[in-house]
Amino acid sequence: MRDCVIAVAATLAITCSFSAAAWSQTAPPAGATACSGCHGGRDSAMPSLQGKSASDIEAAMTAYRTGAREATVMDRIAKGFGDSETRAIAEWLAQNGAAR
Binding site for ligand HEC (CB under 6 A): 31, 34-35, 37-39, 46-47, 49, 57, 60-61, 71-74, 77, 89, 93
Instruction: Kindly state the smallest distance separating residue 19's Cβ from ligand HEC, in Å.
Output: 22
Instruction: Kindly state the smallest distance separating residue 25's Cβ from ligand HEC, in Å.
Output: 17
Instruction: Kindly state the smallest distance separating residue 16's Cβ from ligand HEC, in Å.
Output: 27
Question: Is the Cβ of residue 6 or residue 79 nearer to ligand HEC in the bound state?
Answer: 79
Residue 62 corresponds to which amino acid? T
Other CB atoms within 10 Å distance of the CB of residue 62:
17
Instruction: Kindly state the smallest distance separating residue 61's Cβ from ligand HEC, in Å.
Output: 6
CB 65 within 8 A of CB 80: no
Residue 30's nearest CA partner among 97, 92, 96 is: 92
DSSP string, 27-65: SPPTTHHHHHHHSSSS-TTSPP-TT--HHHHHHHHHHHH
Question: Is the Cβ of residue 24 or residue 60 nearer to ligand HEC in the bound state?
Answer: 60
Question: Is the Cβ of residue 22 or residue 73 nearer to ligand HEC in the bound state?
Answer: 73
